Each structure stands twice: as structure tokens, then as C-alpha cells.
């Protein structure tokens, strides 16, 4: 699987709200970083739990990629995430970038870069980490 | 030789780390755009970009930037990297470690004709600006009527001042706030700045009895700065005195129960006055662009309002007193709505009026205040001090007739003040001053550092201290702050004249 394929798989998981195919493609020690979730997640079990929280917090979540660059086993991309937030019944549009590294064992790292500060924990704001 | 996008990104990062503004300026195209979550809205055009870059570079030090993965297209590059820096002027944490801005990021850079046309950074500012609002101990501290506005603007640290929330620090570097105050315009929630209202036929006479300065001829629409002392001549506070109406005096005061003090003194005094703390919660609009900002929304001419004058008017259709006063030591106004009923309506209108002028919501800028020797005196801040020790002799009129503290002040003046207020150039970076720091002068006498800050104008640590009257400018003293003992040199005040 190329890193660009991995990006597509990741984003499809959010759109379909089904993490199965993505989880199958992860290397055992894969690192997943998503600022809207509470912490760095390592391995399929933690990542599955993180994605479960993300899906529970949103009724829809689309990650649209506007530009991707790939070199070897690494891809970097930028785009916009649009999420319909389940609890607040509002939508959020957040520019993001992501870095994906893949290898023989599968996807080794998915790091999303976005500003989570507007989604303040204490403000009853739309925070994925508060779901579940 | 034309740079590749990766080379341009590296050059930008290197120049940023070394503070090389000239090189950074040469990298960007005239119509360049920059997205940086730490700043906010997209920066458009060379001037806007460079204004923010300069502000960022001066507000940080010991900057390091490392680019990791960088993948180039024909005219662009996407790169992942890490940034480390220390905030200038933020003091240190309690354990002495500096406040830092460290983060990982992805940068997207586009080029045209050898110049950067777009630079977008993606990062999570939450760990970089981690100062989420601290909890306020409930019920003993009332909320300012502008609370919601301050929170929305990113207030993260508050004082309890006159038992009211007082937002002091927002999610920016200290230098960003300093630049906003000295170059543009700022709005401060000073709803905590309460008024002791004296109303009635004897309002002016009673106010004149309360304060040390002769205000017996204070005209309607005039303001004065003075001290309120206790019978021992010790300063209770240093209010701005306003006379917005014929029969009404406001003492706009610091952190002290002044209206209770005044009410107690007025009881059975024979003065025909009523004293209360009205529902008047001010805002300060400070900075060189304040006139342009206020002109369209203030009835009456802010251009013609002289220094230390006030007028009863409307601001955005809301009844208010506007005075040309403030705590910045420079051009500024205070707006006192006569009721808090429409407080947030006023706040929003001022935000909107300030938008074209780059208005920033900040706390009072203590960095600038210390540079200009604009301090604040209340029960505890600068307590145990008389006006002569505070350097405020010009604000005391001992010949005006009886007033509270006169006999004691006459005695103090006759004997000569035993202490004096001086400036200090202090070595090294400073922790935050949370309470007075002890000081030892060359003769072994004790003093106290009562204000201490990084001066951006002088690019060094400065302080204001109360020391023995024998201490002279140029003397060396030792300051004992929580991180150790450092040397300091006595100097004059203010540190900055304009």
C-alpha cells in the first residue's frame, strides 16, 4: 500500500464511519496522532478506540484533500475537514495537514495537524475527546 | 540563483531562528499570503506578513526550527518540522523553567518567480497556548459584565480585583500585546475598576475632604489623579477623580473598598451626600489609533476631548461617560457605561469599530505600565507607603484645608520621607512577581521591589522599588527573587518617556 493509498483509506474510514479496512492496514505498532482526540494512540486497539470516539462525536465527517506530495514511503497532504457534530448539532470546518508513513508491515504513522484550540475542553465545545 | 521551494522554506526557517528580518522580507512576494494558526486570520500582502513576523521574532528567543520530511512539487513544498522557542517577557513558571512555545508543524510553501507567494502552517496551538482559563473561586468574585467577551477573546488568567474578575493575560505572547498597545489599539475589560460615587449638594466638598489633592475647583467635565490616604497618611488608593455631572463625583479606584470607606466617613459628618458603588463597569480603549476607532461611534468629539477631561455622551447609542484617561501612559480613553444592562452590546460595538484598526483585546499591559512608571496603589499593591515615598508630592496639597491624613502628611513632610520610589535595572530574566521581592542596598538596608517586568523598549529587565531615602541613582543593590539573588542598579523613573 502506498502512503497515498493510506491517506485515502484513512479518509474513507471517516466518511463511511467504518474503521475496519483502515485498522486492517495498520502496522502493529502504528502511531496515530489526531489533536481532537485526547492523546497519541499506538497500535490497532488504541486507534480503534480513538476512531470509535471520533465517530461517536460526529454524525458525518469528510476529509477533503487538496494537495498531496509523496516520496518513497511518506506522503504529506493538506486539506479541509468538515464535521457534523453529533452533540452540538453544528458543523465545524477545520483546515488540516497530514503525514502518512507506510512500510512492509502496513501503515506505520498517521499524523494529523490541525488547530484544536478552538475546541476547548472546558467550554462544552465540540471536542471529539469528550465523546463516549 | 533562484531557490527551490525547499531551499526557500529552509531559508525562511533559518532567518526566523536568527531573527534576520531583512532576509525574511526578501523571501516573500508583494502579494504573499501566510496562514499561521498562532496569529489568527490569514495575513495578506508583504506589509501585513512582515508586521506579524517581526512581532513573532521579537516576542520569542532561542528559536530553533528543524525541517524533517520535505516533499517538493514543481513550485511548492510540503514539509513536516519542529519548532522550539522561549517566550520573551512572560516570566518563568514557579519552578523557574521558562515559558516556551514548542510545537510540531506541517508547512506548505508555494513560490512564483523566485518568491514565496503562500506559506501555510498547520499545527495545534492548544499545547502552545496551554493557558486555558483557570477556574475562578466562585461567589466570592463577581464576574465582570464583559466576561463572555473576554473569554471569547481568549482570556486565560484573571486577577480578583475589587472582588471582580479582571482578565490580565490572553493567549498571546507578551510582545504581541505590547505591539498592539504601542502601535495600534487595544480594549481592556476593566469592569473591576469600580466607582465610589459621591452625589449631592456637598459632593465636591466631601470628595475634596477625602483626597490629598485640592479639587475644590474641579469643573464639570474635568478629571484629576490623586491619592486617598488614611489618617496615618498611608495610601489607600490612587483614584482618577471625575466630575461628569454638577452634583456627582466618581472616584474611579483600584483594589480597595473605597465606597465603604467614604460612606463611613460621610455618616454623621454633616456633608449632604449620598455614597454608593453604581453599576458602572468601564472599558479602556488604549493605543495610538484609539481616536480613529472611537470617532464614528461616540456622540460628541473625541478629538476635542483633552487629556484628563470627560464628557457625558453615548457610545454606540449607549449612555456613557467617556474620559481621556487610562493606564497606558499614552493616548487612550476610558468608557464608563452608566449601566451594565447593555454591556455586551457595547463590547461588541467597540470590537466592530476597532476591527479596521487592528483592535486587540488585551489585559492592562504591565510591561508598558512599568516602563512609563504607571502603577496602581491599593490596600496591598504598594501598601505601607505614603504619597511622598511614592513620588507623588505634586498630588498632595497640604495648604488646601482639612482632609483625611493631612496632619500625618504634614508631619511626614516636616521630617522628610524615610523611603523613596526608584527605578531598577535588574540583571537577567525574571520570574513573575507574585508578591514583593526583598531588596538589600549597599548600606544593608532593606527595600522592596514592587513591580518587575521585561521592558521591550529597553530589552532588559526593569523594576520599581521602594528603598531607603539615602539610596542614589547609580547605586548597586541586590534583589532577592524566588529564583535567587541578582544585582540591580538604581535609576530614575520613568524608564521610557514617550
Kind of pairing between the strands at A106-113 and A26-33: parallel
DSSP structural state of residue B98: B
DSSP per-residue codes, B329-341:
SSSEEEEEES-ST
Residues of B with CB below 8 A from A77's CB? 78
Position B467 in a domain: yes
Residues 6+ apart with CB under 8 A from B157: B131, B134, B167, B168, B169
Same domain? For B443 and B481 the reply is yes
Same domain? For B324 and B443 the reply is no
pLDDT category of residue A132 using cuts at 50, 70 and 90: very low
Alpha-carbon distance values, B15 to A26, B9, B205 (Å): 39, 10, 63
Question: Out of B78, B123, B125, whose CB is closest to A76?
Answer: B78
**CATH number assigned to the domain comprising residue B290:** 3.30.1360.120
Q: What is the signed CA dihedral for B34, B70, B57, B429, rounded to 10 degrees?
A: 140
| Angle made by CA atoms A14, A18, A23, in degrees to the nearest 5 | 95
- pLDDT tens, position by position, for chain B (498 residues)? 689 999 999 999 999 999 999 999 999 999 999 999 887 789 999 999 999 999 889 999 999 999 999 999 999 999 999 999 999 998 887 788 888 899 999 999 999 999 999 999 999 888 777 556 666 666 788 999 999 999 889 888 898 999 999 999 988 889 999 999 999 999 999 999 999 999 999 999 999 999 999 999 999 999 999 999 999 999 999 999 999 999 999 999 999 999 999 999 999 999 999 999 999 999 999 999 999 999 999 998 999 999 999 999 999 999 999 999 999 988 999 999 999 999 999 999 999 999 999 999 999 999 999 999 998 876 555 578 999 999 999 999 999 999 999 999 999 999 999 999 999 999 999 988 888 999 999 899 999 999 999 999 999 999 999 999 999 999 999 999 988 899 999 999 999 987
Give the structural domain span for B164.
147-193+281-368
- Contact yes or no for B197/B204 (Cβ under 8 A): no
Contact A74 B37 (CB under 8 A): no
So what's the pLDDT on residue B371? 97
Cα nearest neighbour of A69 on chain B: B71
So what's the pLDDT on residue A128? 54
Same domain? For B38 and B159 the reply is no
Same domain? For B73 and B170 the reply is no
Position B41 in a domain: yes
Same domain? For B108 and B161 the reply is no
CB count, 10 Å around CB of A73?
Answer: 16
DSSP per-residue codes, B392-422:
-GGG--TTS---TTHHHHHHHHHH--SEEEE
Whole-complex ipTM = 0.90
- SS3 (DSSP) at B192: coil
Establish if B37 touches chain A: CB-CB under 8 angstroms: yes
Q: Total structural domains in chain B?
A: 3
Residues 6+ apart with CB under 8 A from B63: B16, B17, B18, B19, B57, B83, B84, B85
Position B264 in a domain: no
- Contact yes or no for B150/B362 (Cβ under 8 A): no
What is chain A's mean pLDDT, rounded? 87
Position B390 in a domain: no
Establish if A59 touches chain B: CB-CB under 8 angstroms: no
Position B225 in a domain: no
Position B234 in a domain: no
Same domain? For B290 and B156 the reply is yes
**Last residue of some domain: B342, B368, B394?**
B368
Closest by CA to B482, choosing from B431, B447, B440, is B431
Establish if B90 touches chain A: CB-CB under 8 angstroms: no
- Contact yes or no for A124/A44 (Cβ under 8 A): no
Same domain? For B356 and B461 the reply is no
Same domain? For B181 and B292 the reply is yes
Same domain? For B436 and B341 the reply is no
Contact A67 B126 (CB under 8 A): no
Distance CA B370, CA B457 (A): 11
Position B380 in a domain: no
Establish if B104 touches chain A: CB-CB under 8 angstroms: yes
For residue B157, how many C-alpha atoms fall within 13 Å in the half-sphere facing its CB? 11
Position B10 in a domain: yes
Contacts 24+ apart (CB under 8 A), B315-322: B315/B346, B315/B349, B315/B350, B316/B345, B316/B346, B316/B349, B316/B350, B316/B353, B318/B342, B318/B345, B318/B346, B318/B349, B320/B346, B321/B242, B321/B244, B321/B250, B321/B280, B322/B294, B322/B298
Domains along chain A?
3-73+84-116 (3.10.450.50)
Distance CA B215, CA B226 (A): 9
Q: Is the pLDDT of residue A91 over 70?
A: yes
Same domain? For B427 and B484 the reply is yes
**CATH number assigned to the domain comprising residue B494:** 2.40.30.110
Distance CA B288, CA A116 (A): 34
- Contact yes or no for B215/B204 (Cβ under 8 A): yes
**Last residue of some domain: B368, B392, B407?**
B368
With both helix axes pointing from N to C terminus, report the angle between A43-57 and A3-16 in degrees, rounded to the nearest 10. Answer: 40
Mutate to test the interface with B, among A37, A66, A69, A108 (most CBs of B within 10 A): A69
Element (H, E) at B245: strand B240-245
**CATH number assigned to the domain comprising residue B17:** 3.10.450.50
- SS3 (DSSP) at B443: coil
Contact B171 A117 (CB under 8 A): yes
B494 preceded by cis ω (within 30°)?
A: yes
**Last residue of some domain: B334, B349, B368?**
B368
Answer left, alpha or beta for residue B356, where phi above 0 means left and psi between -120 and 50 means alpha: alpha
Contact A69 B129 (CB under 8 A): no
Same domain? For B20 and B152 the reply is no
Distance CA A76, CA A111 (A): 10
Contact A117 B104 (CB under 8 A): no
Alpha-carbon distance values, B123 to A58, A63, A75, B67 (Å): 22, 17, 17, 14
Same domain? For B11 and B116 the reply is yes
Amino acid at each position: 500500500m502506498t502512503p497515498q493509498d493510506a491517506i485515502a483509506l484513512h479518509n474513507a474510514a471517516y466518511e463511511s464511519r467504518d474503521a475496519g479496512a483502515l485498522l486492517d492496514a495498520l502496522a502493529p505498532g502504528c502511531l496515530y496522532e489526531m489533536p481532537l482526540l485526547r492523546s497519541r494512540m499506538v497500535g490497532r486497539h488504541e486507534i480503534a478506540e480513538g476512531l470509535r470516539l471520533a465517530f461517536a462525536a460526529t454524525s458525518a465527517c469528510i476529509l477533503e484533500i487538496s494537495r498531496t506530495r509523496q516520496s518513497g514511503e511518506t506522503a504529506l497532504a493538506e486539506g479541509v475537514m468538515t464535521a457534523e457534530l453529533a452533540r452540538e448539532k453544528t458543523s465545524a470546518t477545520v483546515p488540516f495537514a497530514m503525514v502518512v508513513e507506510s512500510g512492509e508491515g502496513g501503515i506505520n504513522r498517521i499524523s494529523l495537524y490541525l488547530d484544536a484550540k478552538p475546541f476547548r475542553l472546558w467550554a462544552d465545545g465540540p471536542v471529539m475527546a469528550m465523546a463516549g | 540563483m533562484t531557490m527551490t521551494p525547499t531551499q526557500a522554506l529552509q531559508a525562511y526557517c533559518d532567518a526566523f531562528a536568527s531573527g534576520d528580518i531583512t532576509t525574511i522580507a526578501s523571501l516573500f512576494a508583494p502579494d504573499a499570503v501566510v496562514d499561521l494558526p498562532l496569529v489568527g486570520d490569514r495575513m495578506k500582502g508583504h506589509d501585513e506578513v512582515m508586521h506579524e513576523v517581526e512581532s513573532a521574532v521579537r516576542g520569542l528567543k532561542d528559536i530553533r526550527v528543524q525541517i524533517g520530511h520535505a516533499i517538493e512539487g514543481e513550485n511548492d513544498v510540503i514539509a513536516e518540522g519542529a519548532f522550539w522557542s522561549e517566550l520573551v517577557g512572560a516570566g518563568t513558571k514557579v519552578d523557574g523553567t521558562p515559558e516556551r512555545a514548542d510545537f510540531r508543524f506541517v508547512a506548505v510553501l508555494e513560490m512564483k518567480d523566485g518568491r514565496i507567494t503562500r506559506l501555510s502552517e498547520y499545527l495545534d496551538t492548544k499545547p502552545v497556548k496551554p493557558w486555558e482559563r483557570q477556574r475562578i473561586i466562585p461567589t466570592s468574585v463577581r464576574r465582570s459584565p464583559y466576561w463572555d467577551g473576554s473569554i471569547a477573546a481568549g482570556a486565560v488568567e484573571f486577577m480578583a480585583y475589587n472582588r471582580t474578575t479582571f482578565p490580565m493575560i490572553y493567549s498571546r505572547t507578551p510582545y504581541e500585546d505590547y505591539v498592539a498597545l504601542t502601535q495600534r489599539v487595544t480594549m481592556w475589560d476593566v469592569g473591576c475598576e469600580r466607582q465610589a460615587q459621591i452625589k449631592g449638594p456637598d459632593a465636591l466638598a466631601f470628595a475634596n475632604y477625602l483626597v490629598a489633592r485640592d479639587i475644590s475647583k474641579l469643573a464639570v467635565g474635568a478629571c484629576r489623579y490623586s491619592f486617598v490616604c488614611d489618617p496615618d497618611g498611608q495610601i489607600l488608593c490612587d483614584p482618577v477623580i471625575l466630575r461628569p455631572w454638577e452634583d456627582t463625583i466618581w472616584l474611579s479606584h483600584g483594589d480597595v473598598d473605597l465606597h465603604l470607606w467614604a460612606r463611613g466617613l460621610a455618616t454623621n459628618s454633616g456633608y449632604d451626600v449620598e455614597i454608593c458603588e453604581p453599576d458602572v463597569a468601564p472599558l479602556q480603549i488604549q493605543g495610538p489609533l484609539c481616536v480613529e476607532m472611537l470617532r464614528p461611534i461616540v456622540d460628541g468629539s473625541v478629538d476635542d476631548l483633552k487629556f484628563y477631561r470627560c464628557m457625558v455622551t453615548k457610545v454606540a447609542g449607549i449612555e456613557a461617560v467617556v474620559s481621556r484617561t487610562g493606564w497606558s501612559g499614552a493616548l487612550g480613553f476610558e468608557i464608563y457605561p452608566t449601566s451594565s444592562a447593555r454591556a455586551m452590546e457595547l463590547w461588541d460595538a467597540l470590537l466592530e469599530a476597532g476591527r479596521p484598526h487592528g483592535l486587540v483585546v488585551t489585559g492592562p499591559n504591565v510591561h508598558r505600565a512599568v516602563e512609563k512608571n504607571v502603577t496602581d496603589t491599593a490596600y496591598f499593591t504598594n501598601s505601607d507607603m505614603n504619597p511622598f515615598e511614592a513620588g507623588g508630592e505634586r498630588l498632595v496639597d497640604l495648604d488646601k484645608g482639612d482632609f483625611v491624613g493631612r496632619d500625618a502628611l504634614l508631619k511626614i513632610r516636616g521630617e522628610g520621607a524615610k523611603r523613596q520610589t526608584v527605578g531598577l535595572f535588574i540583571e537577567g530574566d525574571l520570574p513573575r512577581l507574585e508578591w514583593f521581592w526583598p531588596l538589600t542596598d549597599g548600606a544593608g538596608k532593606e527595600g522592596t521591589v514592587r513591580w518587575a517586568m521585561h521592558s521591550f523598549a529597553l530589552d532588559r529587565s526593569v523594576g520599581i522599588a521602594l528603598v531607603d531615602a539615602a539610596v542614589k541613582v547609580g547605586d548597586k543593590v541586590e534583589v532577592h527573587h524566588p529564583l535567587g539573588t541578582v544585582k540591580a542598579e538604581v535609576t530614575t523613573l520613568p524608564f521610557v518617556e514617550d
